[in-house]
Amino acid sequence: MKTIKDFNFKNQKAIVRVDFNVPLDADFNVTDDNRIVAAKPTIEKITNDGGIAILMSHLGRPKNGPEDKFSLKHIVSKVEEVLGKKVTFVSDSVGAEVEAVVANAQPGDVILLENLRFYAEEEKGDENYAKQLANLGDVYVNDAFGTAHRAHASTTIVAQFFPENKCFGFLLAKEIESIDKVLNSSEKPVTAVLGGSKVSSKITIIENILDKIDHMIIGGGMTFTFIKALGGNIGNSIVEDDKLDLALEIIEKAKAKNVQIHLPIDMIIADRFSNDANTQIVNVNEIPDGWQGLDVGPKTLESLKPVIAESKIILWNGPLGVFELEKFSQGTISLGNFIAEATANGTFSLVGGGDSVAAVKQFGLEPKMSYVSTGGGAMLEMLEGKTLPGIAAILK
């Protein structure tokens, strides 16, 4: 695997695909700078070597050419703050203006190009557009894990113009290593915690990881498809009735592969989907009509504690309950604390997927995990066993 470590950037121009698709508030302030901070080591390696870093990213999903609200100009001051140095912003990604700025750049400079998606060619994976980007640099570095599942001009197509001079940045390499550590570990036991809303959105992940894990903890909304399939009463909890057979199949497959499945034992149930709901704690398979399970109960958490504590490798994808509502956040918080404790005792913990990462951040658990992925969709596709085009293009 060719990484940025293998290159010296002295007097080299590097085009660096980063994922600076960060959330902005109504005044265009960056509300979470994680992805910028995560790209810093790569950018600094290039500039410290005496090279020029030409950063390129998308922001949001503009569909009709340039639009002020999607301009990367809004994040320039944050990038400067994170890097602690001046960043030259160019209001285009290809063309004469960009070429002039690049030609005048000095070793150690950082240039940020305008939102790549202002050109429809980016998402189409247009070769001409990719070539124009490629012409700006001597080396291509991909550090955009969050966008590695997109076969776009800047993430994938551009790599073909650098048969030798292409590599992974530190962040992308670390993301790949973290997943590899979970899916191909020699240490045991390996535990996957899968929560979230639906079985259907996690099924490919479950099928892909069953061969690689010892324990599978199931929580969140998908619990009820399993419980109903096993004959329990789930009241008005969310369920996918067309996936009941699939749930039983998963249970059988897990048995055959010696994977222990841990379903919730008890549930916090509510009479409506609200923080003001009336609640009770009941056995998971005895939920009365008119009530829905929104978080795992205390017996469940007690039972999960030792499983987490004895795990050497933990993958966490998906919250255990509706953590967005305080009343139903305790399961997710407690699980996060168990994982944090295990991590402090030497376990490797990887958190990935959109909402689980949001939960970990919301509850201040991020620094206590071994690794929190910067990718949502990209991470899920890797867990599904897919080869991401952005990664494949560097390995080619």
Ligand X SMILES: Nc1ncnc2c1ncn2[C@@H]1O[C@H](COP(=O)(O)OP(=O)(O)O)[C@@H](O)[C@H]1O
Ligand Y SMILES: O=C(OP(=O)(O)O)[C@H](O)COP(=O)(O)O
- For the annotated catalytic residues, the residue numbers are 35, 198, 354, 377
Rounded distance between C-alpha atoms, residue 372 and residue 352, angstroms: 6
* One-letter amino acid of 361: K
If one asks whether residue 356 binds ligand X (CB under 6 A), the answer comes out as yes
Rank residues 120 and 309 by Cβ distance to ligand Y and give the closer one. Answer: 120
Query: What phi and psi values does residue 234 have, to the nearest 5 degrees?
Result: -115, 10
Q: Where does residue 8 rank: exposed (0-12), middle (13-18), buried (19+ CB within 10 A)?
A: exposed
If binding is defined by CB under 6 A, does position 147 make contact with ligand Y? Answer: yes
Of 53, 54, 20, 15, nearest in space to 34 by CA: 20
- Distance (Å, whole) CA 217 – CA 215: 6
Q: Which helix (H) or strand (E) holds 296?
A: strand 292-296
Give least dist CB 249 to ligand Y, A.
28
Is residue 150 close enough to count as binding ligand Y by CB under 6 A?
A: yes
Give the list of residues 6+ apart from residue 218 with CB closer than 8 angstroms, or none: 194, 195, 226, 261, 262, 263, 264
Q: Is 377 in the site for ligand Y (CB under 6 A)?
A: yes
User: CB under 5 to 8 A by kind: which of ligand Y, ligand X, none does 196 bind?
Assistant: ligand X
Does 266 sit near ligand Y (CB under 6 A)? no
Partner from ligand X, ligand Y, none contacting 238, C-beta within 5 to 8 A by type:
ligand X
Q: Which residue sits closest to ligand Y, CB atoms considered?
A: 376
Q: Which residue stretch of 30-38, 303-311, 348-356, 366-374 sits at the interface with ligand X (rule: CB under 6 A)?
A: 348-356
Tell me: does residue 62 bind ligand Y (CB under 6 A): no
Q: Does 353 bind ligand X (CB under 6 A)?
A: yes
For ligand X, the binding residue among 92, 324, 366, 384 (CB under 6 A) is 324
CB of 58 to ligand X, least distance (A): 20
Q: Which stretch binds ligand X (CB under 6 A): 19-27, 48-56, 252-260, 316-324?
A: 316-324
CB of 296 vs ligand X, minimal distance in Å:
8
Number of residues that bind ligand X (CB under 6 A): 19
Figure out which of the listed residues 221, 264, 297, 375 binds ligand X, where binding follows CB under 6 A: 221
Q: Which is nearer to ligand X, 198 or 253 (CB)?
A: 198
Listed as own residue / partner, the contacts of 69-76 with beta carbons closer than 8 Å and 24 or more positions apart are 69/28, 70/115, 70/117, 70/118, 71/114, 71/115, 72/20, 72/112, 72/113, 72/114, 72/115, 73/114, 74/24, 74/28, 74/30, 75/20, 75/22, 75/24, 75/30, 75/36, 76/112
Measured between alpha carbons, how far is 214 from 110 in angstroms, rounded to an integer? 46
Q: Which residue among 354, 363, 377, 386 contacts ligand X (CB under 6 A)?
A: 354
Q: Measuring CA to CA, which residue among 293, 300, 316, 297 is closest to residue 239?
A: 293
Alpha-carbon distance of 179 to 209, in angstroms, equals 11
Q: Would you count residue 37 as binding ligand X (CB under 6 A)? A: no
Residue 49 or residue 175: which is nearer to ligand Y going by CB? 175
Q: Binding to ligand Y by residue 384, rule CB under 6 A?
A: no
H helical segments located in the chain: 34-49, 76-83, 96-104, 120-124, 127-134, 170-183, 203-209, 223-229, 244-256, 298-310, 330-344, 354-362, 377-383, 389-395
19 binds, among ligand X, ligand Y, none (CB under 5 to 8 A by kind): ligand Y
**Helix (H) / strand (E) containing 214:** none
Residue 319 contacts ligand X per CB under 6 A? yes
**Which residues belong to the annotated binding site?**
19-21, 35, 58-61, 117, 150, 202, 293, 324, 353-356
| Binding-site entries for substrate | 19-21, 35, 58-61, 117, 150
Binding site for ATP, residues?
202, 293, 324, 353-356
Name the binding residues for (2R)-3-phosphoglycerate: 35, 117, 150
The residues of the shown chain that bind ligand X, judged by CB under 6 A, are 195-197, 201, 220-221, 238, 293-294, 317-319, 321-322, 324, 353-356
Residues in contact with ligand Y by the rule CB under 6 A: 19, 21, 61, 146-147, 150, 354, 375-377
